[in-house]
Every structure is written in structure tokens, then in C-alpha cells.
Amino acid sequence: MLEGTAAALAAQAFTGLVLGGIFVLLAIGLSLIFGLMTVVNFAHGALYMLGAYFGFFLLGLTGSFWVALALAPLMVGVLGLGIERFMVRRLYGRSVDDPLLLTFGLSLVFVEAARVIWGKTGLTLDPPRALAGFVDLGFVVFPTYRLFVIGVTAAVLLGLWLFLARTNVGLVIRAGSRDPLMVRALGIDVGRVWLLVFGLGAALAGLAGILAGPMRGVYAEMGVTIIIESFVVVVVGGMGSLTGAVVAGLLIGEVVSLTTFFAPKLADIVVFLVMAAVLLLRPSGLFGEAGLLE
């Protein structure tokens, strides 16, 4: 009895890591965009949804999940480049509410477009056969695909850290997030940096979408709930903090997963309770800096 409960608890903890990985990918994109441009991108959930739909389309077109996994985030990233270049860029220097309202409207447009193109019925996105089984970890048997999601998240985080810490472009992004005026004074085209960051954030949302598709299904409203939870992750971690996005994403994923195991009725509200508790103790979040919006 106790062994069965311990195994189930271990499986739920690993499920929390998977959910946390999805939150991390979404929250990092949100934090990158907000930290550099102070833009609250409410279309992020819709981009997550489009990543899953693009993956479904590419899987049907090519028959290869790996091709879909590689190309779907790129397609969403290109869409993000267009959004920044032709829409969001026009609102820089104005109230933070203006890009928020714009991206909120875009999210509604994308959801309705998905319904028109792919229908209102949810779709199934199958993982490749190589990832369809289970792995015996000794203390629990866990789906191979979910372990794959954890591995992809870890690889993306490592690659992103190397990009930001070891490349000239990454150094410019980090400097621009702290003092864009100084970066301009050095003769660097900040507009190109913003374009790159918005596209990168969108691509991460698309990657999260196609990774979540085989576990959650693909449907037009799939980004509505998770974008709210992702914003909670960003707030808990600290607005604009990449470290906070990672820590808070994993924390919220575990909290939601374990709450589902012990008290399923509280699973929908526990994230807000965690956010309230963190903000009472640290109003700027776990790793955030006060005055970012000023």
C-alpha cells in the first residue's frame, strides 16, 4: 500500500517537472520580451496554441514528428518577428497598456483563425513511436515522451544560457534589458535586438505548444488557461527575471501537480495562492527588481 502510494507520488512529482518545463519555456519568452521592451505580450498563449497547430499541420504534411518539432517553433518565431516589426514597434514609448491591448486583440484573432482553419473539435498530435513507450526508472515507470520533454527543456535552457552569456548578441540583449539608452549611445541598433528577442520569445512559445500537444491535445482554446498560469509564473519569479522564470516555472509546476494528487479541487486556485503569498513577502517577486515599470 505504502509502496504504491510512494510510486504514485514519485510519478506525480515527475509530472510536475514536465508541466514546469512547459511553464518555463513560456515564462522565459514572456520575461525576455518584458525585460527588454517592457511589453506585456498577451498573445503569448495564442502563439503557444499555434505551435501545436503548426506541429499538427507539419506532421500531416511530412509524416515526421521530428520535422514538425524543428519547424513549428521557427514558423511561430517568424510570425513573432512580423508582429513586432509591423504592430508592436509602433507602440514603443507609449503606455504599457497599449501593447497589452494590441496583443490581447491579436490573441482573439489567432484563436478565431484557428477555429476557422482547423475546426472547433480538438485534434490529436501523436508522438513518434520511439517515444510512445515507458521507461522504468527503478522507483517509478514513466512515459518516455514526458522524459523527452524534460530533456528538451533542459537542453533549451542550457543553449539559451550559452547564447546570452557567451555571444556578443546575447551580451547586447542583457545590456539592453538593463539600460537601452546606453546601448543606443554605443551605436547599436536596439530595434534589431528587440526584433530578435520578440521572435525568440515567440519561438519558445511555439516550442512549448508542440511539446504540450501530445500530452494535452490540440484545440483553439489551449492557450487561454496556460497564459494566465504563465503570467503567474513570471510574477512569482519576478518580472523580467530569467532565473525567476525558471525557478518559478518549476515551482508552480510541482505545486499544481502535487495539489492535483492530494486535493484536485484546489488545483485551479493553488497557483494564485502561491502568487499571493510570494507577493506579500516580496512584492517584486522572488528574483525581480523593484521599479521595472517606472
- 102 vs 138, residue with greater confidence: 102
pLDDT grade, residue 12 (50/70/90)? Answer: confident
Q: Evaluate whether 65 touches 233 at the Cβ level (below 8 Å).
A: no
Kindly report the average pLDDT of the chain as a whole number. Answer: 88
Of 201, 166, 172, 207, which is closest to residue 187 (Cα–Cα)? 172
Of 294, 87, 60, which is closest to residue 202 (Cα–Cα)? 87
- 25 vs 94, residue with greater confidence: 25
Overall average pLDDT of the 207-215 stretch:
96
Q: What is the pTM (predicted TM-score) of this model?
A: 0.93
Handedness of CA 248, 253, 256, 258 (dihedral sign): negative
Q: What percent of the chain has pLDDT over 90?
A: 58
Q: What is the pLDDT of residue 82?
A: 96
- Look at residue 291 and tell me whether its pLDDT is greater than 80: no
User: How many other C-beta atoms can be found within 10 angstroms of the C-beta atom of residue 61?
Assistant: 11
**Which residues touch 16 (CB under 8 Å, ≥6 apart)?**
250, 253, 254, 255, 256, 257, 258
Q: What is the pLDDT of residue 183?
A: 67
Does residue 219 sit in helix, strand or coil?
A: coil
User: pLDDT tens, 112-162?
Assistant: 999 999 999 999 999 988 998 888 877 778 899 999 999 999 999 999 999
Of 228, 203, 256, 215, which is closest to residue 16 (Cα–Cα)? 256
Q: How many CA atoms lie within 13 A of 64 on its CB side?
A: 7
pLDDT grade, residue 11 (50/70/90)? Answer: confident
| Distance between CA atoms of residues 58 and 77, nearest Å | 15
